C-alpha cells in the first residue's frame, strides 16, 4: 500500500461547520510547534483566555479552550458540575439538547427532561411550572440549537434559574463569536462552544467558561469527576498560575484560535454580531423571495445557522451531492427528526459574507431545477441585494 | 486590550514532545478545511486507519485517531474496557502508569496496583505471582514510560496475560512510530498513543486501537461508557462504514497526521526504528563519554526518550532556562519523584537526527560549565560521531 498525498478539495463551506477560515488563521496554524510549558506558549494561552472572556462577556477566571471539539466541551461541563444523584433538568428542543441529556444520563444524574418541539425554543412557562414543582441543581439547555436553527431567548430563563437557585449549563456552540452571548448577565455557570463555527478557526478546540459557583460545586463533589482528561480542577492547574502539566496542549490549534480571536477583536464583537445578523436577514429575504420557506418563525431564528425547509418531493441527498460535486458547495442536511426535512445553511465567521449568500441562492435554484422544481431565482437574488443594502 | 500577534519562537524541541515536525507536515496543516462528512475527507480518515494499522502492526478494525491528546487516548481505553467493579491490575513504574491508575480509580475499578521502582520495567515474576493469586479482566501498563525513559520488554508479560486470560491495556505514547510496537503479536486489546512524538505530527490527536475482544467486552458492558465523547462504539459508527456524525473531526490535524504517516511509510517502519535506535545509541555514547550518567540500565533504555541524571549540586531549572533562552533548546525536566533528578532528552520522529544530538552535547556542556561543572565535551562530541559511523 502506498498512501496517496493529502487531497483536499477547496470547498465553499456553508453547512453547520466547519466553515472556511481566514487566510491569517491558516498562516497561524503553521507557526512553529512549541512546547506546552514554554513560557512563550503560556502567554498564548493567557491571551486566549483574555479574548475568550471578551467574547463570552464574562469575568470567569476559568475560561479557556478545552482540548477537544465542542462535544468535549459539552462533556467537560456536564461531567464536572453533575454527579450521580444530582437533580438535573434538561431542555430538549433538538439534537444537541438531547446530547446533553445523554451525557447527563451517563453521569447518573436524577434526570428530568422537558421535551419540546424541534424548531421552537424552550417555553418559559413550562420551565417555570417544573421549577416550582421540583428543586434542581442544574438546568441544561442550548442557546443556539445547531440542529433546528433556533436561537433561545435567555433573559426570562436566566431570571427563572436565578429565582429557583439552579445553575445554568449552556451550549453556545453555534452562537459564540457571531451571536450575542452574555455569560455574566445571564448568570450562566458552565458554558461551552467550539473553535470552528462563528469563532472562525479550524476544528479541534472547545472554548469553555465556568463561574465561581460552578468551580465551588466541583470542589464540593462527593465523587471525583469521572473524566480525568476534562476535569476542570486539573485543567485549571495548567491554565492558571500553577502551570502543572496536564496534557500536551496543541500549539498548532491554539495559535490558530488566537489569530481567529484577534480577528474578532479587530472587527469588534458588536460589529461582528451585526454582520452576522445582516447577512442572515439577507439570506432569509432571498430564500423567501425565491419561494422557499424557513423552518423557524422570525423571532427565534438563529443568524448563524439557517434551516430551510426542503420542498415536498425533493431528494435531499441528490441536491447536496450535486452542490458538492458540481459547485464544491457544502450545506448541511437535517439531523434526527429533521433528516430529509431541512437544509442547514451556515453563515458564520469569515464565511458570513455577501458573496456566499448570493452564491447559495444561485446554486440551490439550479439544484432544485434539476429535479423539476422551479424557483423565482431572479426575485431571490434581487431580494438579497436589497436586504444587504440596508 | 489589543492582543498581540502570534509570536512563536523557533525552538529546537528535544524534550518529551512535542518535537519539531517535517516541513511537509506543516504544509499539510494548511490544506483547506473540509467538512467532517465530506466524502473526500472520509477517504483521509480511512487512509489514516490503514497507516495506523501498519504502524501499530495490527489488523484491528477499530484503529484510528481519537479527537484529543494522548491523555484522551488513555481515557478512551480505560473508560471503554473498564467498568465499575471490574478487577483491574495496573503496573505503576512511573508518572504515566500512575495516570492509568488514577483513571481506573475514577471508573471505580476493583483496583490492584503493582508499584515498582521508577526507572525500572515491570518485573514479570511479581506480575506472575499476582496473576496466580487473583483473576483480572485487564492489566494496564506502559510500553514506553515517558517519565523514566524505560522501554518495557513485552514478550514475557504478553505470555502471562494470555495464560491468565487478562486483557492488556497498553500506553504506547512514546514508542509508536519510532520503537517496535506489536499489538497483534503481543495480544494487546486496547492501545493508545499521541500524534506529536515519534509519529511526527502536531499535538491534538491520539491514535488508538481496540481488539475484537475489547470491542466485545464494551458490547457486554452493564453500564454505559461514562464518556460520551470517547465512547468507542460511537466513534466506530463514525470511523466505520455507518458514517454517523459523532464529533466535528479536525481536518486540519488529520491532514497533518496523514502526511506524517506517509513520511513513515516512505521511510519504512523498520528503517525508522533503526534510525531511532542508532541515534539513541549515539546520544548515550556522547552523554557517557562527556562524564554524565544515564538513569536507566542499558537493556531497558527507551530509544526515543533518554533520561540523563542531573549531576549533584546542579540547578535544574537554571540549566533548562539557559538552554531555552540562549539556544532556543527545549529539553524536559523530571516528573514526579524524578523532578530535579533527571533531564528528559527526546529523539523522536523528524527530530531524531545526528545534528540534534551533536547540538545537545555541545549546549548541555556549556550550561553545566556556567555552574562550574566541567565535562569532557571533546570526548562527548567525538563519541557521538564515532557511534553514528557504525
- Closest Cβ opposite residue A255 in set B6, B36, B227: B6
How far the first Cα of chain B sits from its last, in Å, is: 57
- The 3-state secondary structure of A274-312, one letter per residue: HHHHHHHHHHHHHHHHCCCCECCCHHHECCCEEEEECCC
Same domain assignment for residues A182 and A243: yes
Distance in angstroms (rounded) separating the CA atoms of residues A388 and B11:
47
Distance in angstroms (rounded) separating the CA atoms of residues A6 and B133:
52
* Count of CA atoms in the C-beta half-sphere (13 A) of A266: 12
User: Which chain A residue has its CA at the smallest distance from B10's CA?
Assistant: A32
- The pLDDT score that the predictor gives to residue B390 is 76
Same domain assignment for residues B125 and B230: yes
Distance in angstroms (rounded) separating the CA atoms of residues B57 and B67:
21
Inter-chain residue contact A202 with B252, CB threshold 8 Å: yes
A23, pLDDT greater than 90: yes
Residue A11 lies in a domain: no
A200, pLDDT greater than 90: yes
CA distance A35 to chain B (A): 6
Percent of chain A with pLDDT over 70: 98
Distance in angstroms (rounded) separating the CA atoms of residues B157 and A219:
40
CA distance A23 to chain B (A): 10
Q: Determine the average pLDDT of the residues in B51-69.
A: 98
Inter-chain residue contact A31 with B6, CB threshold 8 Å: yes
Find the radius of gyration of the CA atoms of chain B: 21
Q: Please identify, among A203, A230, A265, the residue that sits at the C-terminal boundary of a domain.
A: A265
Task: State the alpha helices, DSSP H only, in A30-109.
Answer: 39-56, 70-81, 95-106
Inter-chain residue contact A228 with B44, CB threshold 8 Å: no
Q: Determine the average pLDDT of the residues in A15-25.
A: 97
Cis peptide before B364 (omega within 30 of 0): no
Distance in angstroms (rounded) separating the CA atoms of residues A238 and B116:
28
Q: Determine the average pLDDT of the residues in B170-198.
A: 98
CB B8 within 8 A of CB A40: yes
Same domain assignment for residues B234 and B276: no
Confidence of residue A390 (pLDDT cuts 50, 70, 90): confident
Q: B150 phi and psi, to 5 degrees?
A: -100, 135
Residues on chain A touching B36 (C-beta within 8 angstroms): 18, 203
Distance in angstroms (rounded) separating the CA atoms of residues B328 and A153:
51
CB A73 within 8 A of CB A193: yes
- The pLDDT score that the predictor gives to residue A47 is 97
Q: Between these two residues, A3 and B308, which has the higher pLDDT value? A: B308
Residue B138 lies in a domain: yes
Burial zone of A330 (CB within 10 Å; 0-12 exposed, 13-18 middle, 19+ buried): buried
The answer to whether the Cα torsion of A35, A39, A43, A48 is positive or negative is positive
- Closest Cβ opposite residue A229 in set B3, B72, B255: B72
User: Which chain A residue has its CA at the smallest distance from B330's CA?
Assistant: A35
pLDDT tens per residue across span A324-361: 999 999 999 999 999 999 999 999 999 999 999 999 99
User: Which chain A residue has its CA at the smallest distance from B25's CA?
Assistant: A30
Q: What is the CATH number of the domain that holds A62?
A: 3.40.640.10
- Closest Cβ opposite residue B13 in set A33, A245, A330: A33
Inter-chain residue contact B38 with A69, CB threshold 8 Å: no
- The pLDDT score that the predictor gives to residue B265 is 98
DSSP B350: G
Percent of chain B with pLDDT over 90: 98
Same domain assignment for residues A235 and A278: no
Q: Please identify, among A265, A283, A312, the residue that sits at the C-terminal boundary of a domain.
A: A265
CB A20 within 8 A of CB A14: no
Q: Which domain holds residue A210?
A: 23-265
- Closest Cβ opposite residue B3 in set A1, A245, A262: A262
- The pLDDT score that the predictor gives to residue B7 is 75
- The pLDDT score that the predictor gives to residue A5 is 67
Distance in angstroms (rounded) separating the CA atoms of residues A48 and B362:
36
Residue A12 lies in a domain: no
Same domain assignment for residues A135 and A121: yes
pLDDT tens per residue across span A363-374: 999 999 999 999
The answer to whether the Cα torsion of A279, A202, A45, B235 is positive or negative is positive
Inter-chain residue contact A75 with B229, CB threshold 8 Å: yes
Nearest to A59 by CA among A231, A217, A182: A182
Confidence of residue A2 (pLDDT cuts 50, 70, 90): low
Same domain assignment for residues B318 and B183: no
Cell of A68: 477537544
Same domain assignment for residues B37 and B79: yes
Inter-chain residue contact A36 with B18, CB threshold 8 Å: yes
- Closest Cβ opposite residue B11 in set A9, A38, A255: A38
A:B CB pairs within 8 Å: 251
Distance in angstroms (rounded) separating the CA atoms of residues A128 and A121:
14
CB A383 within 8 A of CB A286: yes
Confidence of residue A35 (pLDDT cuts 50, 70, 90): very high
Q: What is the CATH number of the domain that holds A347?
A: 3.90.1150.10
Same domain assignment for residues B208 and B86: yes
Residues on chain A touching B99 (C-beta within 8 angstroms): 228
Same domain assignment for residues B30 and B160: yes
CA distance A286 to chain B (A): 25
Q: Which residues contact B114 (CB under 8 A, 6 or more apart)?
A: B89, B90, B91, B92, B122, B126, B127, B130
CB A34 within 8 A of CB B289: no
Inter-chain residue contact B248 with A69, CB threshold 8 Å: yes
CB B203 within 8 A of CB B13: no
Inter-chain residue contact A246 with B54, CB threshold 8 Å: no
User: Which chain B residue has its CA at the smallest distance from A194's CA?
Assistant: B248
DSSP A201: S
B1, pLDDT greater than 60: no
User: Which chain A residue has its CA at the smallest distance from B16's CA?
Assistant: A35
Residues on chain A touching B29 (C-beta within 8 angstroms): 29-30, 252
Q: Determine the average pLDDT of the residues in B190-202.
A: 98
Same domain assignment for residues A36 and A178: yes
Residues on chain A touching B251 (C-beta within 8 angstroms): 8, 18, 202-203
Residues on chain B touching A103 (C-beta within 8 angstroms): 228
B264, pLDDT greater than 90: yes
Inter-chain residue contact A67 with B72, CB threshold 8 Å: yes
Residue B15 lies in a domain: no
CB A220 within 8 A of CB A209: no
Q: Please identify, among B230, B250, B265, the residue that sits at the C-terminal boundary of a domain.
A: B265
Residue B9 lies in a domain: no
Residues on chain B touching A5 (C-beta within 8 angstroms): 259, 262
CA distance B255 to chain A (A): 7
Number of domains in chain B: 2
B218, pLDDT greater than 70: yes
Cell of A122: 424552550
Find the radius of gyration of the CA atoms of chain A: 21
Distance in angstroms (rounded) separating the CA atoms of residues A249 and B145:
19
Inter-chain residue contact B253 with A256, CB threshold 8 Å: no
Same domain assignment for residues A194 and A221: yes
User: Which chain B residue has its CA at the smallest distance from A226's CA?
Assistant: B106
Q: How many CB atoms lie within 10 A of CB A79?
A: 25
Q: Determine the average pLDDT of the residues in A119-147.
A: 98
CA distance B301 to chain A (A): 23
Q: Determine the average pLDDT of the residues in A94-109.
A: 98
Q: How far is CA A50 from CA A47, A147, A177, B1, B189, in A?
A: 5, 30, 14, 9, 43
Distance in angstroms (rounded) separating the CA atoms of residues A2 and A5:
9
Q: Which residues contact B329 (CB under 8 A, 6 or more apart)?
A: B11, B12, B14, B323, B359, B360, B363
Inter-chain residue contact A227 with B227, CB threshold 8 Å: yes
User: Which chain A residue has its CA at the smallest distance from B31's CA?
Assistant: A8
Same domain assignment for residues B254 and B324: no
Residue A18 lies in a domain: no
Percent of chain A with pLDDT over 90: 98
The answer to whether the Cα torsion of B175, B24, A200, A387 is positive or negative is negative
- The pLDDT score that the predictor gives to residue A7 is 75
User: Which chain B residue has its CA at the smallest distance from A44's CA?
Assistant: B6
CB A3 within 8 A of CB B262: yes
Q: Which residues contact A366 (CB under 8 A, 6 or more apart)?
A: none
Residues on chain B touching A227 (C-beta within 8 angstroms): 75, 79, 106, 226-227
Residue A3 lies in a domain: no
Inter-chain residue contact A51 with B3, CB threshold 8 Å: yes
CA distance B35 to chain A (A): 6
A4, pLDDT greater than 70: no
Task: State the alpha helices, DSSP H only, in chain A.
Answer: 23-29, 39-56, 70-81, 95-106, 124-133, 155-163, 183-186, 212-219, 232-239, 251-267, 269-289, 316-327, 354-370, 377-388
Residue B13 lies in a domain: no
Q: A302 phi and psi, to 5 degrees?
A: -85, 120
Q: Which residues contact B246 (CB under 8 A, 6 or more apart)?
A: A71, B234, B235, B237, B238
Distance in angstroms (rounded) separating the CA atoms of residues A360 and A381:
10
**Best interface-test mutation with A: which of B47, B227, B348 has the largest number of A CBs within 10 A?**
B227
Confidence of residue B388 (pLDDT cuts 50, 70, 90): very high
Distance in angstroms (rounded) separating the CA atoms of residues A263 and A63:
19
- Closest Cβ opposite residue A32 in set B11, B102, B225: B11
Inter-chain residue contact B225 with A106, CB threshold 8 Å: yes
Confidence of residue B347 (pLDDT cuts 50, 70, 90): very high
Amino acid at each position: 500500500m502506498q498512501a496517496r498525498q493529502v487531497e483536499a478539495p477547496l470547498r465553499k463551506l456553508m453547512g453547520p461547520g466547519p466553515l472556511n477560515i481566514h487566510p491569517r488563521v491558516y498562516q497561524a496554524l503553521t507557526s512553529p510547534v512549541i512546547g506546552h510549558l514554554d513560557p512563550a506558549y503560556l502567554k498564548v494561552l493567557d491571551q486566549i483566555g483574555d479574548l475568550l472572556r471578551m467574547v463570552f462577556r464574562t469575568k470567569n477566571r476559568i475560561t479557556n479552550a478545552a482540548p477537544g471539539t465542542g462535544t468535549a466541551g459539552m462533556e467537560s461541563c456536564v461531567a464536572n458540575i453533575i454527579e450521580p444523584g444530582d437533580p438535573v433538568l434538561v431542555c430538549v428542543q433538538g439534537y444537541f439538547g438531547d446530547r446533553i441529556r445523554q451525557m447527563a444520563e451517563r453521569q447518573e444524574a436524577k434526570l428530568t427532561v422537558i421535551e419540546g418541539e424541534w424548531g421552537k425554543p424552550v417555553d418559559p412557562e413550562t420551565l417555570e411550572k417544573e421549577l416550582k414543582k421540583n428543586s434542581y441543581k442544574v438546568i441544561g439547555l442550548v442557546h443556539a440549537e445547531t440542529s433546528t436553527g433556533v436561537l433561545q431567548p435567555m433573559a426570562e430563563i436566566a431570571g427563572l434559574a436565578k429565582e429557583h437557585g439552579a445553575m445554568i449549563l449552556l451550549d453556545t456552540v453555534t452562537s459564540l463569536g457571531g451571536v450575542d452571548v452574555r455569560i455574566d448577565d445571564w448568570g450562566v455557570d458552565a458554558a461551552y462552544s467550539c473553535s470552528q463555527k462563528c469563532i472562525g478557526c479550524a476544528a479541534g478546540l472547545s472554548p469553555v467558561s465556568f463561574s465561581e459557583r460552578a468551580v465551588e460545586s466541583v470542589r464540593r463533589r462527593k465523587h471525583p469527576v469521572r473524566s480525568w482528561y476534562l476535569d476542570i480542577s486539573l485543567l485549571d492547574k495548567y491554565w492558571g498560575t500553577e502551570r502543572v502539566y496536564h496534557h500536551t496542549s496543541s500549539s498548532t490549534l491554539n495559535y490558530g484560535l488566537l489569530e481567529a480571536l484577534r480577528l474578532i477583536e479587530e472587527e469588534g464583537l458588536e460589529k461582528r454580531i451585526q454582520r452576522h445578523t445582516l447577512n442572515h436577514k439577507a439570506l432569509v429575504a432571498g430564500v423567501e423571495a425565491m419561494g422557499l420557506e424557513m423552518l423557524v418563525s422570525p423571532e427565534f431564528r438563529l443568524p448563524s445557522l439557517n434551516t430551510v425547509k426542503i420542498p415536498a418531493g425533493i431528494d435531499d441527498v441528490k441536491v447536496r451531492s450535486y452542490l458538492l460535486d458540481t459547485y464544491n458547495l457544502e450545506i448541511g442536511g437535517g439531523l434526527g427528526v429533521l433528516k430529509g426535512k431541512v437544509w442547514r445553511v451556515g453563515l458564520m465567521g469569515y464565511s458570513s459574507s455577501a458573496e456566499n449568500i448570493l452564491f447559495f441562492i444561485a446554486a440551490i435554484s439550479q439544484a432544485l431545477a434539476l429535479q423539476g422544481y422551479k424557483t423565482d431565482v431572479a426575485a431571490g437574488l434581487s431580494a438579497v441585494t436589497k436586504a444587504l443594502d440596508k
